[in-house]
């Protein structure tokens, strides 16, 4: 028996000091770093891991990735991940621990940085969960892998840890766990089986026309007009090709062409962000994007084929129903009415790259962080969409009461999985970093920033 007692009972009776949680969270919050440039944050996490002498720590995995492993006798191996990068956002909260930090981005411009996605809360909570698990190790056996991941916002961090030999550095997990803070009543824990986060496909398209003097359009193949018709025609994919009861997003998020009013440029660039729950539908829509862009280029008389660059391809986060069935009753037991069903979220995550690399099942859940009074007021006035800041908004700020909840959720879920017997899985079941293959596509990893 690898558990003595229930996860809820073990966590509720843990003799652990978590009085440092808030202070450490505020320290991380004050000092956000861009994806791939988390040098200070990784060093700070490593310093905190010094408090856990029995956990074997490995740093510098795929950049600034870190693992800490506690081998505590026979039993399953459970991996739990927290990400720790920030965003190029200027914080607009009024707390005394608001970020005033800035960093150089990949173009060498100084940009303000903010933990606008709550990754500082994830990291603090995982250190908190390690404290609970460390303090209760007489009551469980097995192996816990705490994984701290950089560069989630660039969709490259998990992939780089996997391709840098993660599998050789840690014991193979039986199951992987992860969590994210979201707008919602602070301290509410949301779980669901099946697809909970979308897949994400980012496409950069270059359209090649022919440049000319602006007064001589008959001598040009105008890529500005071509880009305009491509943008409009792409809107018909979701409205005319996707079944009305299916979810799909095809957003043209960027259009760039020309620098001067008297020059017809020779090319235009558009960038798309596409989101899906269903892989078959994703392939269909990506094919439609290529078909429309190529056909519009032909219709405009382009002599050169458009160029497609697929960046940051990510699979959907599709929770294993078996892991959900194991963890959810323990969340219900520990959190009572605050353990509720999760609605699918249209955002995307690279978390699932980790379990897919090992060929093992996973569960990803969310924790609400909005102060209750603010949430209730917005809900009463029907203004949730207007008044509650989403992740990546300059006013996104976790209520401090959500920190112990995310900490306990992580510990309960790990214990829940330690108490289960997992089937043997063949070692070659994993995928190498979960890059959906596109035959005519170059999957390029993106470095979004460099250290200042
Ligand atoms: Zn984010
Ligand atoms: Zn995030």
Q: Exposed, middle or buried: residue 281 (CB in 10 Å: 0-12, 13-18, 19+)?
A: middle
pLDDT tens for residues 2-39?
899 999 999 999 999 999 999 999 999 999 999 999 99
Q: How far is CA 383 from the centre of its chain?
A: 26
Helices (H), 352-400: 353-358, 372-380, 384-387
From residue 306, give the alpha-carbon distance in Å to each of 205, 273, 283, 302.
7, 18, 19, 9
pLDDT tens for each residue of 290-336: 999 999 999 999 999 999 999 868 899 999 999 999 999 999 999 99
Is residue 83 part of the annotated active site? The answer reads yes
Distance 347 CA to ligand 1 centre (A): 8
Per-residue pLDDT tens digits of the chain, which is 452 residues long: 589 999 999 999 999 999 999 999 999 999 999 999 999 999 999 999 999 999 999 999 999 999 999 999 999 999 999 999 999 999 999 999 999 999 999 889 999 999 999 999 999 999 999 999 999 999 999 999 999 999 999 889 999 999 999 999 999 999 999 999 999 999 999 999 999 999 999 999 999 999 999 999 999 999 999 999 999 999 999 999 999 999 999 999 999 999 999 999 999 999 999 999 999 999 999 999 999 999 999 999 999 999 999 986 889 999 999 999 999 999 999 999 999 999 999 999 999 999 999 999 999 999 999 999 999 999 999 999 999 999 999 999 999 999 999 999 999 999 999 999 999 887 765 665 444 444 333 333 332 222 23
Mutual orientation of helices 39-49 and 21-30 as an angle, nearest 10°?
160
CA of 352 to the centre of ligand 1 (A): 15
**Cα 391 to middle of ligand 1, angstroms:** 6
Using alpha carbons only, what angle is made at residue 369 by residues 69 and 31, rounded to the nearest 5 degrees? 60
Question: From ligand 2's centre to the CA of 153, what distance in Å?
Answer: 7
Cβ neighbours of residue 313 closer than 8 Å, sequence gap 6 or more: 155, 200, 201, 202, 435, 436, 438, 443
Q: Decide: 351 and 158 in contact? Cβ < 8 Å.
A: yes
| Residues in the annotated binding site | 117, 119, 153, 180, 392
| CB-side neighbour CA atoms (13 Å) of 221 | 18
Picking from 68, 72, 183, the residue whose alpha carbon sits closest to that of residue 136 is 72
Cross-strand bridge partners of residue 373: none
Q: Which ligand is nearest to the CA of 154?
A: 1
User: Which amino acids are annotated as binding site for Mn(2+), given as ranges?
Assistant: 117, 119, 153, 180, 392
Q: Is residue 201 a contact partner of residue 290, using CB atoms and an 8 Å limit?
A: no
Catalytic: which of 38, 48, 83, 174? 83
In angstroms, the CA 158 to CA 349 distance is 10
> Mind listing the domains of the chain with CATH numbers?
7-195+316-419 (3.40.630.10), 199-314 (3.30.70.360)
What's this model's pTM, rounded to 2 decimal places? 0.89
Residues 392 and 423: their CA atoms lie apart, in Å, by 39
Among 38, 153, 320, 399, the one annotated catalytic: 153
CA distance 339 to 312: 32
Positive or negative CA dihedral for 46, 48, 50, 53?
Answer: negative
- In the reported structure, the alpha carbon of residue 117 is separated from the centroid of ligand 2 by a whole-number distance in angstroms of 5
Where are the alpha helices (H) located in 136-220, listed in sequence order? 157-163, 166-169
- Ligand nearest to the backbone CA of 392: 1
Structure tokens at 362: 């996973």
């Amino acid at each position: 028996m690898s558990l003595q007692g229930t996860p809820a009972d073990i966590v509720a009776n843990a003799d652990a000091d978590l009085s440092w949680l808030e202070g450490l969270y505020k320290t991380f919050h004050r000092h956000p770093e861009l994806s791939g440039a988390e040098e200070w944050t990784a060093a700070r996490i490593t310093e905190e891991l010094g408090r856990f002498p029995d956990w074997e720590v490995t740093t510098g995995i795929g950049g600034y990735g870190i693992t800490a492993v506690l081998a505590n006798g026979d039993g399953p191996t459970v991996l739990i991940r927290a990400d720790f990068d920030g965003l190029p956002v200027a914080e607009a909260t009024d707390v005394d621990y608001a970020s005033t930090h800035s960093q150089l981005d990949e173009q060498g411009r100084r940009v303000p940085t903010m933990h606008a996605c709550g990754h500082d809360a994830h990291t603090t909570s995982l250190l908190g969960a390690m404290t609970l698990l460390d303090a209760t190790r007489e009551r469980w056996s097995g192996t816990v892998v705490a994984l701290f991941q950089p560069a989630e916002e660039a969709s490259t961090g998990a992939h780089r840890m996997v391709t840098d030999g993660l599998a050789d550095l840690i014991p193979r997990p039986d199951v992987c766990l992860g969590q994210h803070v979201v707008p919602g009543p602070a301290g509410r824990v949301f779980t669901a089986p099946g697809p909970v986060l979308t897949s994400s496909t980012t496409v950069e398209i270059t359209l090649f026309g022919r440049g000319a003097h602006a007064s001589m359009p008959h001598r040009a193949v105008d890529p500005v007009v071509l880009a305009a018709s491509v943008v409009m025609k792409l809107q018909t994919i979701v409205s005319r090709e996707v079944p009305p009861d299916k979810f799909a997003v095809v957003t043209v998020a960027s259009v760039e062409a020309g620098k001067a009013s008297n020059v017809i440029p020779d090319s235009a660039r558009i960038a798309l962000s596409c989101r899906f729950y269903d892989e078959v539908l994703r392939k269909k829509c990506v094919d439609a994007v290529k078909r429309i862009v190529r056909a519009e280029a032909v219709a405009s008389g382009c002599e050169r084929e458009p160029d497609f660059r697929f960046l940051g391809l990510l699979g959907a986060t599709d929770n294993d129903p078996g892991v959900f069935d194991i963890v959810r009753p323990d969340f219900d037991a520990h959190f009572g009415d605050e353990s509720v069903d999760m609605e699918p979220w249209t955002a995307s995550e690279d978390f699932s790259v980790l379990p897919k690399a090992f060929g093992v099942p996973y569960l990803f859940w969310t924790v609400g962080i909005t102060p209750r009074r603010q949430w209730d007021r917005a809900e009463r006035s029907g203004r949730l969409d207007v008044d509650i800041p989403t992740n990546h908004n300059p006013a996104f700020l976790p209520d401090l009461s959500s920190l112990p909840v995310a900490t306990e959720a992580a510990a309960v879920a790990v214990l829940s999985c330690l108490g289960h017997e997992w089937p043997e899985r063949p070692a070659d079941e994993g995928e190498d970093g979960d890059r959906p293959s596109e035959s005519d596509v170059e999957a390029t990893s993106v470095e979004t920033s460099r250290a200042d």
